[in-house]
Each structure stands twice: as structure tokens, then as C-alpha cells.
Amino acid sequence: MKTETLHLNNKNELNGFSTEMIGDDHLYTGLETPMKKDAFKLSDTEKKQRIALLFEEIMDVMGLDLTDDSLKGTPDRVAKMYIDEIFSGLNPENKPKVALFENKYRYNQMLLEKNITFYSNCEHHFVPIIGKAHLAYISSGKVIGLSKLNRIVQYYAKRPQVQERLTNQIANELKTILDTEDIAVIIDAKHLCVSSRGIKDDTSATVTAYYGGAFNTPEKIAELQNYLNH
């Protein structure tokens, strides 16, 4: 579907929604993380150099004294943090290598890995999303190492995100790797774009869920919820 960007009263509008409305109302534009075609034309080293220069300019515009010992290294630290840490999931080279194993135990019930802590960042304001992910699957003949479930969550979390997209990206990755539709993903997260700015609601949390295959029944959802509550 083609989208057009219109300008009305000096505010950008996308499909009838202002860009401000999209950010504050937690909307997003698609399942894939929006990336430029030439996103990897620059090396990571070159990206860090560019980001450091640009962030230094931002700090200067805000009136900060970049000669101060506490601040003068900040642009480089931010650049390194962006590329090597909190947004490292943008680079497909950082995608975790996953090995599958034969289900020799013939275990054909639910496997649940719960309370996977993750830190992400809201793509609308670049402030943290802090949450826990719960992943479940029923083996179709292969099993995955437990730590790889954590690594998949971290990979997709380490990019500018929207929680609904994060939920579906993790689910689709698990379906592809495990070759099964019997996947469940539940994410419970706190968004600092809600608690620290805007409405400033520090008590609310956001829960999203994906139930595929055998998990998309009231009985299986109830079983899953029972495990999560213990």
C-alpha cells in the first residue's frame, strides 16, 4: 500500500494521522522495522563517528559546556552505546545464531520460558521501554536451547521499537526457526514515554500477546496464564 506524506498547518500527516498523534497514540506503520535501503552503507565505526559529531552539536545547541570534564566524552559514549549496545539489533550481523536439537525426550507439551527481562527504546521518543517477555512453544520435532530464546528477545528489543511490532517479530522468528505455528509470546512492559513525559502516568503497563496454532484456544491460553501466575 502506498503512503503519502502531506503537509497541513505546518504539521506532517501520514494517512490522516499527524506525526505527533502517531507518537503519542502509540501507532506504528508496519511489521518490519523501518530501515533505509542503504542502512549499512556506513560501517559501524563510521556511524559512531558521525553520531558523536551530531550529538555534540545537539549538546552545544542545548547550551552545555563541552569543555567540562564530565561532558566532553559524552558524544563518543552515546555513539558507542547506540551502535554497540541499545540499537545493536538493527544490524542483521548481530542476529543470534540458533542451533536446533532433536526432541529426543519426546516431550510434546508446552515449554515456557518466562520473565525474560529486556530493555528497548520507543521509536517515537527514543526513551526506554522496560519489560518482561514470556515465550512458549510446542515442539514439532526440534527444540531450541533455552538461552537462545533470551537472545532472540534481546535482538529484536535492541532497536527503536513499538511493543506490538516487537511481539510479532519475536513470534515470527520463533515460527520460522522451530517450523511450527504453536507459538505464544506475551510481553508486559512499562513505557517511559508514558510515565516520564506526556500523560506522566507512572503506574500503567502495556501487555501484548501473540497466540498461534495450538495456543490460540481458550484452554491453552488458560493453561499458559496459570503457569505465568505461579
Per-residue pLDDT tens for 154-164?
A: 999 999 999 99
**Does some domain include residue 205?**
yes
User: Residue 38 falls within a domain, yes or no?
Assistant: no
Query: Does residue 20 fall inside a structural domain?
Result: yes
Give tens-digit pLDDT for 21-66.
Answer: 555 665 657 889 999 999 999 999 999 999 999 999 999 999 999 9
Do 222 and 117 fall within a single domain?
yes
| 174 found inside a domain | yes
- Whether residue 177 is predicted with pLDDT greater than 80 in this model: the reply is yes
Looking at the annotation, which residues are catalytic? 122-125, 163, 191, 193
Domains in the chain, number = 2
Same domain, 26 and 108: no
Task: Judge whether 56 lies within some domain.
Answer: no
C-beta contacts of 53-56 below 8 A and 24+ residues apart: 55/79
Could you tell me the pLDDT band of residue 195, with boundaries at 50, 70 and 90? confident
Could you tell me the sign of the dihedral formed by the alpha carbons of 210, 85, 192, 14, in that order? negative
User: Exposure of 129 by Cβ count < 10 A (0-12 exposed, 13-18 middle, 19+ buried)?
Assistant: buried
* pTM: predicted TM-score of the whole model, two decimal places: 0.87
pLDDT score for 13 = 52
The whole-angstrom separation of Cα 154 and Cα 120 is 8
CA distance 118 to 59: 28
Where in the sequence is the domain holding 25, given as residue range(s)? 1-30
